């Protein structure tokens, strides 16, 4: 059953703690993306990776970090430097060779108090 998974669905953290969100795909896609979604603001790109061991900053990368050591995995770390981390985080992937449609995971809702 092919797809993209994110875990956990809900995550709670205290302010000042780093937290890592998981994203795994078995679609054999080269490109992976992390978005942040806040109410009324649509999706904003945090980081993206087009191939293993390579990634680029998106529009709102400050306070976040990523790694891409394996094709299947693209974890996102929300650091304590992110001033307003409470949000809904969405991971996506796409086949670089095919159409540019993206496949999304179910999302992780992070709440930092």
Partner 1 sequence: SQQGEEDPQALSIQEGENATMNCSYKTSINNLQWYRQNSGRGLVHLILIRSNEREKHSGRLRVTLDTSKKSSSLLITASRAADTASYFCATDASGGNNRLAFGKGNQVVVIP
Scanning 14-22, 61-69, 70-78, 85-93 for contacts with partner 1 by CB under 8 A, the matching segment is: 85-93
Yes or no: say if 20 and 77 are a contact pair by the CB < 8 Å rule.
yes
Q: Does 101 bind partner 1 (CB under 8 A)?
A: yes
Binding to partner 1 (CB under 8 A) within 27-46 occurs at: 31, 33, 35, 40-45
Q: Is 32 exposed, middle or buried (0-12, 13-18, 19+ CB in 10 A)?
A: buried
Which residue in the set 28, 70, 106, 111 belongs to the binding site for partner 1 (CB under 8 A)?
A: 106
Provide, rounded to whole angstroms, the least separation between the CB of residue 24 and partner 1: 14
Q: Does 92 bind partner 1 (CB under 8 A)?
A: yes
Q: Does 2 bind partner 1 (CB under 8 A)?
A: no
């Amino acid at each position: 059953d092919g797809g993209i998974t994110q875990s956990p669905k809900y995550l709670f953290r205290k302010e000042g703690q780093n937290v890592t969100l998981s994203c795994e795909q078995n679609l054999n896609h080269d490109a992976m993306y992390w978005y942040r979604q806040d109410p009324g603001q649509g999706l904003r790109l945090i980081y993206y990776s087009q191939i293993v061991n390579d990634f680029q900053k998106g529009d709102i990368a400050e306070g976040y970090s990523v790694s891409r050591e394996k094709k299947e995995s693209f974890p996102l770390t929300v650091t304590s430097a992110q001033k307003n981390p409470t949000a809904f985080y969405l991971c996506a992937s796409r086949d670089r060779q095919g159409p540019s449609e993206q496949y999304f995971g179910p999302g992780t809702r992070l709440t930092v108090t």
